[in-house]
Amino acid sequence: MAIFIIEESKRCLQCRDPQCQKACPVMTPIPKIIKMFKDNELMEAGEILFENNPMSVVCSHVCNHEAQCSGHCILGKTGSPVRFFDIEKYISDTYLDRMRFTEAEKKGVSVAVIGSGPAGITVAVILARNGYDVTIFERRSMIGGMLTYGIPDFRLPRSLLTKYTRMLEGLGVKIRPNTTIGGALNIERLFKDGYGAVFVGTGVWRPKTLGIRGETLPNVHFGISYLSKPGVYDLGKEIAVIGAGNVAMDVSRVALRHGVERVTMYARGKRIAANAEEVEYARIDGADIEFGMQIVSIDKDGPNFKIARFDEEDNLIGYEDEIVHVHADSTIIAASQGPKDKLLLTTEGLEGSDKGLLVVNEKMMTTVPGVFAAGDVVHGSKTVVHAVKEAKIAAEGIMEYLENRKTEENTEE
Ligand SMILES: Cc1cc2nc3c(=O)[nH]c(=O)nc-3n(C[C@H](O)[C@H](O)[C@H](O)COP(=O)(O)OP(=O)(O)OC[C@H]3O[C@@H](n4cnc5c(N)ncnc54)[C@H](O)[C@@H]3O)c2cc1C
Ligand code: SF4
């Protein structure tokens, strides 16, 4: 690995106007990092990456690099682009192992972070590094959100989450696992207990149902539920996966690793939402995709479809009358997720969109003063790096809010 990335770093042209960097949602200073790596400034480079994006090492594994950094590298126009993400992986992984923080001057103000996915972790890191006392409330037993309970471990090693837990502890962040806010405790109680601000990074965990007959049958499951603990499911030998987005690709690949012999994904259209790379991997692993299949119902023996008709440009123009039945021991629905409504139902003044996503202003503050939000719960199911980008704005917003409040309190005295 080390030799490969050294060679890779030597190929970088150190562009003055780096297209790779411009295509990164968090503007990672790519040529600068590559230069520091070549100049043996590994820990310094790691620090810059971490300060810019606390999820840097995670992003090096799971970002859509084709659409971002490497897809825009100038060298890709004539040959192969620089694989910056491999260099980033090495630097950020090493940094996470060896990092030491100097203790920040304490502000004496507590902030509650609800949810420990990429958005929650990013906010917790920034606030703790700025001297705030942070407590994370996490519904599940382990931190990481979709990194732990969604993305399969063969794409993102779980050992990373152990490193993140240790890093947060090192920063003095307190974690309350198995604690749902909007259940026995709510946001109002957090403020009553003295938290100066609250951050909501609760993601989207409610599987979207198809509204068709058969979704409650015992042989039918939701993709997102399956991925959170695949070992507890007995799916049989042949399964049908409804959908062909990234979640469907992960479901298929995980199922093939858990004893399922035949996996077929069914897509309504001919253009699919998943990244090209994910589709290729799923095919290599042995999954099939059938296009032009509109699910209409599911039986105990598998799903039923209408066959779509397309024009010459692959636009869907209608369906055949006939219904086609496909045998499957289990059917898994992987048709995206929406937010749960616990916080909306239990927080006075908190407004959601018609999809239940939280409404925020440009500083990521919700309609309740002092309550900020970012990540999937704001923009719907997206990516780790987009959650980080917004979480950074939210962390700045929280600090500004707390500073303004302090000034107001001092003026009143
Ligand atoms: C199968 C799958 C594969 C994916 N693959 C990729 C990929 O390859 N690359 C990529 O960039 N993105 C990928 N994503 C998307 C990415 O994981 C998310 O965009 C990202 O995790 C969103 O971060 P978040 O912090 O907003 O929310 P989440 O990661 O969803 O974290 C939310 C956290 O809040 C907790 N929580 C929820 N409600 C409460 C409550 N009321 N009280 C306390 N805690 C609560 C949850 O338990 C969870 O830990 C994938 C998603 C899925 C489902
Ligand atoms: S575009 Fe490619 S060659 Fe240019 S700085 Fe970025 S990684 Fe290096």
**Digits of tens for pLDDT over the chain (413 positions)?**
667 899 999 999 999 999 999 999 999 999 999 999 999 999 999 999 999 999 999 999 999 999 999 999 999 999 999 999 999 999 999 999 999 888 889 999 999 999 999 999 999 999 999 999 999 999 999 999 999 999 999 999 999 999 999 999 999 999 999 999 998 999 999 999 999 999 999 999 999 999 999 999 999 999 999 999 999 999 999 999 999 999 999 999 999 999 999 999 999 998 888 888 899 999 999 999 999 999 999 999 999 999 999 998 888 899 999 999 999 999 999 988 999 999 999 999 999 999 999 999 999 999 999 999 999 999 999 999 999 999 999 999 999 999 999 888 888 76
112/138 Cα distance (integer angstroms)? 11
Q: Is the CB of 18 under 6 A from ligand 2?
A: yes
- Which atom of ligand 1 is least distant from the CA of 121? 25
Do the Cβ atoms of 48 and 33 come closer than 8 Å? Answer: yes
Q: Is the CB of 292 under 6 A from ligand 1?
A: no
320/318 Cα distance (integer angstroms)? 7
160 alpha-carbon distance from chain centroid: 15
What's the pLDDT at 1? Answer: 60
Domains of the chain with bracketed CATH: 2-98 (1.10.1060.10), 110-205+339-412 (3.50.50.60), 207-337 (3.50.50.60)
Atom 30 of ligand 1: nearest residue by CA position? 203
Do the Cβ atoms of 263 and 252 come closer than 8 Å? Answer: yes
Q: Is the CB of 297 under 6 A from ligand 2?
A: no
Alpha helix positions (H), 53-178: 56-62, 69-72, 84-98, 118-129, 146-149, 159-170
| Tokens matching residue 354 | 């018609």
Distance between first and last Cα of the chain:
60
DSSP reduced 3-state for 180: coil
- Which atom of ligand 1 is least distant from the CA of 340? 38
356 alpha-carbon distance from chain centroid: 18
What's the pLDDT at 175? Answer: 98
Q: How far is the CA of 413 from the centre of ligand 2 (A)?
A: 55
Report the half-sphere exposure of 74 (CA within 13 A, side-chain side): 13
What's the pLDDT at 46? Answer: 98
What's the pLDDT at 411? Answer: 80
Burial class (CB in 10 A: 0-12, 13-18, 19+), 124: buried
Q: What are phi and psi of 364, to 5 degrees?
A: 70, 20
- Which atom of ligand 1 is least distant from the CA of 146? 29
Q: How far is the CA of 76 from the centre of ligand 2 (A)?
A: 9
Atom 4 of ligand 2: nearest residue by CA position? 15
Q: How far is the CA of 95 from the centre of ligand 2 (A)?
A: 23
- Which atom of ligand 1 is least distant from the CA of 120? 25
The sign of the CA dihedral 311, 313, 315, 316 is positive
Strands 220-222 and 133-137: unpaired
Q: How far is the CA of 63 from the centre of ligand 2 (A)?
A: 17
Buried b (16+ CB within 10 A) or exposed e, 271-288: ebbbbeebbebbeebebe
Q: Is the CB of 137 under 6 A from ligand 2?
A: no
CB atoms within 10 A of CB 361: 10
